[in-house]
Structures are given as C-alpha cells and as structure tokens.
C-alpha cells in the first residue's frame, strides 16, 4: 500500500462498473430523519466548509480514495454482497449530513434499508480517461450531504479487475482507506460462488458515533483545564500564537492559495531504511524521532531556524483499540517542538526528538476543539485560529492487518486536489522504501522552495543512513528565485476551515 497522486494510478483498461443504491434504498435513505447521534468536531467542521464551498460553486475536492488490483474474473453478484455487508457493518458509511451552514444534522440509514445494484458505464481505455472517470465520480458522489457519501466501482477485464472507493472526508481518513478495500475484498472472496440471498449478516463494529461521544466527554473534561491543555496553551504562546507554517517562504500572501501540484520523493530504499533505523537506535531514538530530528536540521540549515515547530497528525485508533478496524475520521493533532540550539550533529538531537515524540502522543489526547479554545484564550486572532497548519504525518503501512496480501500490497491511497497555501509533509514507510509526498502550491516560486526543502531533507536522512550521523551546517546566503507574473496562477482567498488538514 502506498500514498500517491490520484492521477498517477492507471489500472489496465476495461469495463467501468458502478454500484449505486437501489431505488428503495435511495428513497429510504432520503427519508431517514435526523437523529441524536454525536458527530466529531472535525466532521462537523468539514460539513460546514463543504457546504460553504458548494454555495460558492466550487468543485468538490474534499475526498479521499483508494484503489487496487484483484486477480480473477469478477463475480459482480459476490461484489454486491460484499459491498452490502461492508456498508451495513460501518455506521459512518450509512451516514449523511445536512446543514444550514451552522447546525449540522446527522442521518444514519438503517442496515435493513441498505441495498445496491450494479450498472455498466461503458469501456475505459486510457489512463487519462480513467483519471477523468474517477474525478467525475468522486466529485459528484463522494459528498456526505446525501447517501451514499462515497463512490464505489470496478474496472473489469478478462482475468482481473481494479477496484476503487472514494469517500467524503467527513466519513473517512487515510487509515480507513488502507483498511477498506482489504475488508471488501475479504468479504468478496468469502462470497464468490455462493448463492447468498439475503446478503450475509454484518457483525457490528464500534462506530464513529461512539468515538464522537468519547471526544465530547474528553472536551468537557478539558474545558475545566488539564495539564495537557496548559501545555497546548504555552506552546502557542511560545510560537507567536500561530499555527505552524512551511519553514520556507512560499510566496503567497496571507489567505491566498494556489492550485495543487503533487510531489513525491523516495527518501530511502530497503537497505537505507535499515541503516537509518540503526543510526537512530544507536543515538537512543527511532525512525520517527529520527525524522523529527532531520526536519529540525533542515529548517536550521536552510532557514536558520533554531527551533522546529510542527504539527503532527496522529491516528487515534492507536489510543483506542476498540476502534482499530472502524471506518471514519479518527484523527487528532499534536505539536512537535525541538530546540536545536547547541546541537552540532544529528545524534545530538535524538534525545530532544524522542521527548518531542512522546509529548506529541500525550498532547494528542486533547480534542481539536479544546486545542482551539486554548489558542483563543491565549489571545490568538481568529485568522490565526482558523488558519490551516502545515502538517506532518508518518504512516508505517507494514502495520496494517492486510499487509502481505496481494490486493493490499498493490493498493494506492490518494486525495482530492484543489488549492493550497501549504506543503504539508506526508512521510510513509513500507517494506521497500521510505518516501514523502506533499500537495504543494503550483507556482514557480513555491515549487522552487518546496523542491529545495524536500531535497535537502532527503539528503539529511540519506547522510545519516550512509554515515551513521550528520554534521549540522550553517544556512547558505539566501538565493534570489526569479518569478514572473505569468508564472503565478491567480491566488484566491483561502477557504477558512478549522483544523483542515488536506485540500
């Protein structure tokens, strides 16, 4: 499994099949009344932001997707049963929202009303045609203001097929996508050749609504003040009452965005990962704390920053194992601060990086709404509070339960591509490589800056892998990067979305 750009995944040509709700299912879903179920802060905020974007006529790009290849002839009836079981099992996938821009109401379709039918959409021949097919389906179907808030399909050919799923971000996250297709394919394999009517029963799992209840309870506890909320408040005060930004100037004015250009770089191969891991452990850390140290060094060597201030994204399933296989948006954030003053080598930073990693895990237990409340109470402006932070994510895809199965190992995860003011860092590991990806602003100046930054980060990591350490150098004299008006796409006001972490 790997994270990549949607336009870079091109399965072989074949017949495009779409699964949609039956007429009865669609009518029952539309008639499902709003219920009292809890919704997380991130999901509610996403729904409001998507509502605002639609009111402006913007294309919907706030979705995540995944795809993979499966061997063998497609059994469409078995796939229909598998999808039915999968959706029935996960309440969040039976959920749709409505909002007036303020209040968000949640509708959860009953499992007994779930039913799908497959339709033939014709032949897909080229990679470009497939990319257009995915984009059109996800933009129109992976929207959580009606059921289903996802798009599911297959490209079928003799001897095999590609399968894909795209979900509105209110219903899903990266880990959900890594889990979803493997679960569907497991259900499919169990149903091939079986004349099963009605569809197999769906064992219940702890749902995203249960998680939302826990989040609200934690937020209520945090409102009274805790050691962790105090640390969050002090972090913001130390860092100018602002969210982390990209370490280098990207040439965009406050509130401006540019079209996304995906970037991907391989950092280490299999042998390099082993060597980097060994160097980190010898210095008292791990691969993750080593990455933190490399980020701190890159900021110091390129921009003279003596303190690294970042915001990491953490999968809260790791903290709440009962939700380990649940679908939904299980995410929190935590600050990463590393003081590089006095450090002369990579190894000098390992203790501080390890401490920053442990602190991040602890502070991630504070719900996002409580974090923002601390930022406001510390005196931050509303513009600072709603500014999307430049984020850091690390995913080890070897840790997922389907690792080693053909469909999982062939799988890809991607997100919608709209506009951005950031160049967040998504670092991922599998059995063969450590690599980074980023959705970056597509301007001449920003591209020069992000490529310079990420190439330097890769060089630091590679040096540690090769030599066991890295000597920290002084920043070079600033270089002038020529830009011209015709190189810069028109900037637009950035969509204000609290704690939004992808565009």
Q: Which DSSP state fits 228?
A: H
Is the Cβ–Cβ distance between 114 and 94 less than 8 Å?
A: yes
- Boundaries of CATH 3.30.559.10 in the chain? 2-204
> Measured in whole angstroms, how far is the alpha carbon of residue 246 from the centre of its chain?
18
The β-bridge relationship of strands 331-339 and 307-315 is antiparallel
- As annotated, the residues of the chain forming the CATH 3.30.559.30 domain(s) are 220-400+415-476
The number of residues making up the chain comes to 503
- pLDDT (0 to 100) of residue 480: 57
CB 352 within 8 A of CB 339: yes
Residue 166 backbone dihedrals phi, psi, to 5 degrees? -125, 135
Name 62's Cβ contacts closer than 8 Å, sequence gap at least 6.
Answer: 46, 49, 50, 53, 168, 169, 416, 418, 502, 503
Structure tokens at 301: 């060597």
DSSP E strands, 9-76: 14-21, 63-71
The helix/strand/coil state of 68 is strand
Residue pLDDT, tens place only, 350-397: 999 999 999 999 999 999 999 999 999 999 999 999 999 999 999 999
Q: Tell me how crowded residue 396 is: count the other CB atoms within 10 A of its CB.
A: 14
Query: Do the beta carbons of residue 43 and residue 170 sit within 8 Å?
Result: yes
Structure tokens at 44: 């509610």
Q: Write down the pTM of the prediction.
A: 0.92
Q: Are strands 307-315 and 391-396 parallel, antiparallel or unpaired?
A: parallel
- Give the pLDDT score at 502: 40
3-state SS class at 477: coil
Domain 2-204 has CATH 3.30.559.10: yes
Enclosing H/E stretch for 71 = strand 63-71
Read off the DSSP letter of residue 226: -
pLDDT of residue 204: 58
**For residue 136, how many other CB atoms are within 10 A of its CB?**
11
Q: What b-and-e string marks burial along 173-212, b requiring 16 or more CB atoms within 10 Å of the CB?
A: bbbbbbbbbbbbbbbbeebeeeeeeebeebeebbbbbbbb
Phi, psi (5° rounding) for residue 126?
A: -105, 165
Q: Rounded to 5 degrees, what are φ and ψ at 106?
A: -110, 130
Pairing of strands 2-3, 412-415: parallel
What is the rounded distance in angstroms from the CA atom of residue 28 to the CA atom of residue 31? 5
220-400+415-476 folds as Chloramphenicol Acetyltransferase (3.30.559)
Question: Per residue of the chain (503 residues), what is the pLDDT tens digit?
Answer: 999 999 999 999 999 999 999 999 999 999 999 998 889 999 999 999 999 999 999 999 999 999 999 999 999 999 999 999 999 999 999 999 999 999 999 999 999 999 999 999 999 999 999 999 999 999 999 999 999 999 999 999 999 999 999 999 999 999 999 999 999 999 999 999 766 554 545 555 789 999 999 999 999 999 999 999 999 999 999 999 999 999 999 999 999 999 999 999 999 999 999 999 999 999 999 999 999 999 999 999 999 999 999 999 999 998 899 999 999 999 999 999 999 999 999 999 999 999 999 999 999 999 999 999 999 999 999 999 999 999 999 999 999 999 999 999 999 999 999 999 999 999 999 999 999 999 999 999 999 999 999 999 999 999 999 999 999 998 876 655 555 444 444 333 333 333 334 43
State how beta strands 307-315 and 256-269 pair.
unpaired
d(C-alpha 173, C-alpha 238), whole Å: 31
Q: CA-to-CA distance for 84 and 403, rounded, in angstroms? A: 24
């Amino acid at each position: 499994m790997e994270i990549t750009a949607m336009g870079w995944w091109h399965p072989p040509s074949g017949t495009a099949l779409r699964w949609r709700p039956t007429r009865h299912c669609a009518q029952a879903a539309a008639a499902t009344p709003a219920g009292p179920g809890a919704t997380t802060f991130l999901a509610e905020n996403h729904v409001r932001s998507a509502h605002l974007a639609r009111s402006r006529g913007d294309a919907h790009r706030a979705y995540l997707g995944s795809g993979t290849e499966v061997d063998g002839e497609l059994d469409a009836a078995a796939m229909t049963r598998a999808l039915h079981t999968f959706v029935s099992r996960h309440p969040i996938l039976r959920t749709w929202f409505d909002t007036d821009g303020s209040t968000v109401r949640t509708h959860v379709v009953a499992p007994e009303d779930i039913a799908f039918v497959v339709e033939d959409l014709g032949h897909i021949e080229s990679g470009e045609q497939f990319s257009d097919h995915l984009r059109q389906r996800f933009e129109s179907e992976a929207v959580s203001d009606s059921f289903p808030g996802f798009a599911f399909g297959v490209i079928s050919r003799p001897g095999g097929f590609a399968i894909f799923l795209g979900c509105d971000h209110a219903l899903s996250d990266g880990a959900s996508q890594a889990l979803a297709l493997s679960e569907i394919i497991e259900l499919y394999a169990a149903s091939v050749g079986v004349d099963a009517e009605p569809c197999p029963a769906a064992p219940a799992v702890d749902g995203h609504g249960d998680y939302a209840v826990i989040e609200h309870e934690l937020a209520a506890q945090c409102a009274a003040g805790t050691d962790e909320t105090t640390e969050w408040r002090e972090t913001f005060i130390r860092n100018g009452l602002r969210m982390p930004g990209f370490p280098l100037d990207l040439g965009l004015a406050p509130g401006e965005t540019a079209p996304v250009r995906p970037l991907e770089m391989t950092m280490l191969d299999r042998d390099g990962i082993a060597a980097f891991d060994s160097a980190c452990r010898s210095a008292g850390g791990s691969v993750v704390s080593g990455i933190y140290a490399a980020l701190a060094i890159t900021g110091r060597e390129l921009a003279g920053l003596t303190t690294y201030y970042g915001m990491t994204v953490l999968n809260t399933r790791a903290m709440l194992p009962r939700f380990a296989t649940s679908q939904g948006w299980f995410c929190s954030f935590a600050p990463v601060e590393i003081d590089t003053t006095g450090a002369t080598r990579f190894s000098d930073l390992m203790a501080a990086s390890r401490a920053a990693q442990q602190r991040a895990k602890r502070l991630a237990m504070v719900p996002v709404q409580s974090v923002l409340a601390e930022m406001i109470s510390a005196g931050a402006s509303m513009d600072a509070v709603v500014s999307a932070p430049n984020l850091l994510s690390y995913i080890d895809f070897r840790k997922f339960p389907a690792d080693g199965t053909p469909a999982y190992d062939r799988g890809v995860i991607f997100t919608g591509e709209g506009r951005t003011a950031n160049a967040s860092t998504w670092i991922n590991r599998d059995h063969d490589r450590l690599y980074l990806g980023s959705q970056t602003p597509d301007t001449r100046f920003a591209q020069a800056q992000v490529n310079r930054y990420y190439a330097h980060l890769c060089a630091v990591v590679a040096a540690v892998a090769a030599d066991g350490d890295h000597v920290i150098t002084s920043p070079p004299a600033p270089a002038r990067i020529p830009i011209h008006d015709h190189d810069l796409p028109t900037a637009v006001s950035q969509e204000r979305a609290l704690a939004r972490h992808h565009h």
